[in-house]
Structure 1
């Protein structure tokens, strides 16, 4: 690949939020404490984060970053926090997640019961388009 093509490819990959965003193409979540630590690090640096594709579970706390953007076609799957090897909801962990969400997302989560159980179901999923309608910034389209 030529240097020019490589530069163009890199520019296209980095298009979206201001700066060079950290992109999330598919994130199934994981240890909530690790995600909280990462969210705080990103926010402290003001690092942009573009969320594309699937963002589930603990990944959804990134919606509260000040420099986040979402793609309209992204999917955000919500469920209650739980401790490792324990399928029961962890209410303290869920409250921590709730604190990260922007106000309109938090209202939807509380109204829909999205953090009431640890199960994933379609009723507890929001599209990027729905989140954009709630005020979460849309990622800018890549320049052609």
Structure 2
């Protein structure tokens, strides 16, 4: 009777160990996942910043592909693992509230949040020039961003 119980406990322990091992494999597989961003016209700066922080915490690669990546989509350039398709066009402009200028203190705050997601050369240009454009976009090719130091995506959308 005691031996049967011990076998049962042992079997449960093995099952639990195997389940935990499998869960570790799933977590490992999730860390290799990629978010493929295509044709994104932007959105709210704060929400995008939180999303990028979450992607970085989960070690998820961000691939910027498709025809366009405009406005807050460009903040994905701040992902720890990001690559850029050379053919994608990136559209930059300053923070606004639905196309209307923000009060100076909010403009400065949100400009800094956006700029914090760019590497040094892009950040400098954004802060000196692009953020002052509220309507329309400064358009930059992915190839130009790669020349500024961003990694090019491989030809395979999964790589």
Q: TM-score range by the shorter chain?
A: 0.7 to 0.9
Alignment partners' CA distance in 2, 1:31 and 1:63: 16
Q: Where does the alignment leave 5 or more consecutive residues of structure 1 unmatched?
A: 1-17
Q: Where does the alignment leave 5 or more consecutive residues of structure 2 unmatched?
A: 1-30
Counterpart in 2 of 1:105?
Answer: 122
Of residues 24, 28, 32, the one that matches 2:45 is 32
Counterpart in 2 of 1:8?
Answer: none
Name the structure, 1 or 2, with higher relative contact order (CA <8 Å, separation 6+). 1
Distance 1:86 1:129, change over 3 A: closer
| Bigger radius of gyration | 2
Question: Which stretches of structure 1, 4 residues or more, deviate above 6 A after TM superposition?
Answer: none
Counterpart in 1 of 2:136?
Answer: 120
RMSD of aligned alpha carbons: 1.9
Counterpart in 2 of 1:42?
Answer: 55
TM-score normalised over the length of structure 2: 0.71
> Quick check: 2:32–2:59 contact (8 Å CA) kept in 1?
no
Structure holding more helix per residue: 2
Instruction: Give the stretch that moved more between structures: 129-138 or 99-108.
Output: 99-108
Alignment partners' CA distance in 2, 1:36 and 1:119: 22
Counterpart in 1 of 2:150?
Answer: 136
Alignment partners' CA distance in 1, 2:109 and 2:38: 28
